[in-house]
């Protein structure tokens, strides 16, 4: 990554062995939600929630970076900063970017402490931004018992709908009755406008809860994909998830026909999509940290990572397909492949050629009932530290196990079990980037994890079979370069 605003990065930040090498992240400080993804003149502009003053969430700015290839990024000047005494004095929260009458426009939530919806425009190539003098929407809609004091209404998603603009806002109400259970539930509020400045409230476009203790829905996305309408909604609970539904939006309400999740781990959140010039729908998310603030503060001075771009497509059954964007192949070094093999129960195959902490691995195997196949990464020579990606042929589950990833006591290990379903064949793509692990299984099951080995020699890679013989048809991998 290059930085157009400074000649070098802080050496302590760059020296952190857990700092990813091929994922995007700011030069230093805090990062959370991706915001305002927009292509202008063929280049992708990424805005994101950012605190440049430390690795913690406080008085959020909008960071800005631009890419020609989804892989390499140039840092740009900060786009939005809280205005002292203004309607966003406590933070410029999440939102989106659109182009209105040829003018790039950011639509975002300002905090002061009420949550209000705001606009900023650029007329110099997305370098500097001018805020409107007042919020464009400052009051909650009538007749709803909105959660929060002040009311929680945020994260505008805006799209062109014929001759007008439509907007969804995430919120929640106290008097929900989803599944016959009284209590708070998430809602999406629908508005319309001609000019992005005067908004008419239409009604509640969707409501419900994905988890029983839901109170607010965040970061909505609504778009068309493969003949259906697709909705992304994030629920900020103890375990963060971005849920996905496909169905039909009739211009006023969304009716789902299928519900799933974009990621089965607890680290991928605030998913945001964008349509690229070739009409690919791409999804990015925030990968949060898995170590305590005290653990990362002394030397790292950074927090948060942008996920790899995922290409989205619709399966014939209406479910969502997700694959890593093809552009990441440009980072590959020499290919290291193993011949097809049968791995007997209890056997291990070490892969010394892939020893490292920045890898891509492709694996296709037949795993019958009674067998399981494990891919071990970031393993120390004494095996006291290791992370495991496992497919269980009996339960047809994908497991990602970081419970032994680190000897440190200030990290958050996780054991993820994802119901995967299979005909006995598993097709895996695994991206390891120091402390980030992104796993894609058969284009439909994704798990993101964080791992923080204490040992610098926790670099080994191996395969293990258990229970019965496993047939490995494809195994190949690459060391990946830095950005």
Distance CA 219, CA 216 (A): 10
Cis peptide upstream of residue 195 (ω within 30 degrees of 0):
no
CB atoms within 10 A of CB 440: 20
Q: Reduced to 3 states, what is the DSSP secondary structure of residue 423?
A: coil
Both tokens assigned to 479: 């060391």
Is 33 an annotated catalytic residue? yes
139, 105, 109, 138: which is closest to 123 by C-alpha?
105
The dihedral through the CA atoms of 399, 405, 407, 410 has a sign that is negative
CB 455 within 8 A of CB 340: no
What's the burial of 125, exposed, middle or buried (CB within 10 Å: 0-12/13-18/19+)? Answer: exposed
Distance CA 344, CA 464 (A): 9
Rounded to 5 degrees, what are φ and ψ at 420? -110, -40
Q: Reduced to 3 states, what is the DSSP secondary structure of residue 377?
A: strand
Q: Reduced to 3 states, what is the DSSP secondary structure of residue 14?
A: helix
Read out DSSP for 282-330? EEEEEE--SB-HHHHTTTT-EE-EEPPPEEEEE-TTS-EEEEE-GGGGG
CB 399 within 8 A of CB 389: yes
Which of these is catalytic: 33, 263, 357, 442? 33
Q: Reduced to 3 states, what is the DSSP secondary structure of residue 257?
A: strand
What strands lie across the sheet with 228-235, from one edge to the other?
217-225, 228-235, 241-249, 254-261
Both tokens assigned to 219: 């970061």
Catalytic (active-site) positions: 33
């Amino acid at each position: 990554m290059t930085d157009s605003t400074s000649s070098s990065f802080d050496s302590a930040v760059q020296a952190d062995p857990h700092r990813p090498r091929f994922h995007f992240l700011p030069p230093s400080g805090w990062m959370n939600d991706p915001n305002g993804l927009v292509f202008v003149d063929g280049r992708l502009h990424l805005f994101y929630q950012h605190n440049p003053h430390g690795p913690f969430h406080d008085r959020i700015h909008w960071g800005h970076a631009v890419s020609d290839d989804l892989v390499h990024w140039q840092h740009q000047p900060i786009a939005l900063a809280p205005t002292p005494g203004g309607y966003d004095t406590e933070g410029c929260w999440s939102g989106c970017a659109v182009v209105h009458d040829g003018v790039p426009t950011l639509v975002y939530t300002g905090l002061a402490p009420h949550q209000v919806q705001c606009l900023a425009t650029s007329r110099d190539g997305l370098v500097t931004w001018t805020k409107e003098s007042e919020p464009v929407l400052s009051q909650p809609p009538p007749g709803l018992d909105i959660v929060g004091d002040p009311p929680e209404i945020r994260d505008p998603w805006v799209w062109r709908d014929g001759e007008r603009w439509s907007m969804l806002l995430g919120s929640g109400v106290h008097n929900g009755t989803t599944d016959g259970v009284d209590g708070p539930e998430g809602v999406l509020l629908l508005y319309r406008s001609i000019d992005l400045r005067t908004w008419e409230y239409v009604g509640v476009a969707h409501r419900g809860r994905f988890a029983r203790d839901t109170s607010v829905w965040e970061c909505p996305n609504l778009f068309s994909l493969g003949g259906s309408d697709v909705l992304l909604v994030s629920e900020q609970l103890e375990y963060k998830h971005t849920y996905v539904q496909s169905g039909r939006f009739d211009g006023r309400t969304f009716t789902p026909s299928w519900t799933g999740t974009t990621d089965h781990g607890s680290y991928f959140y605030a998913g945001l999509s964008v349509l690229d010039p070739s009409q690919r729908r791409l999804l990015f998310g925030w990968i949060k940290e898995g170590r305590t603030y005290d653990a990362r503060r002394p030397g790292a001075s950074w927090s948060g990572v942008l996920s790899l771009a995922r290409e989205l497509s619709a399966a014939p059954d209406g479910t969502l397909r997700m694959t890593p964007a093809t552009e990441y192949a440009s980072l590959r070094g020499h290919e290291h492949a193993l011949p097809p093999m049968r791995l007997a129960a209890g056997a291990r195959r070490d892969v010394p050629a892939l020893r490292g902490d920045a890898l891509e691995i492709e694996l296709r195997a037949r795993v019958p009932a009674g067998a399981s196949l494990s891919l071990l990464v970031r393993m120390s020579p004494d095996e006291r530290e290791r992370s495991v990606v496992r497919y269980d042929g009996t339960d047809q589950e994908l497991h990602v196990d970081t419970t032994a990833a680190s000897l440190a006591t200030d990290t958050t290990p996780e054991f993820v079990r994802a119901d995967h379903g299979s005909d006995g064949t598993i097709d895996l793509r695994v991206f390891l980037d120091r402390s980030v692990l992104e796993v894609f299984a058969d284009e439909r099951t994704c798990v993101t994890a964080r791992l923080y080995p204490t040992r610098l020699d926790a670099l080994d890679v191996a395969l293990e079979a258990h229970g019965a013989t496993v047939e490995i048809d494809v195994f190949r991998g690459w060391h990946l370069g830095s950005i």
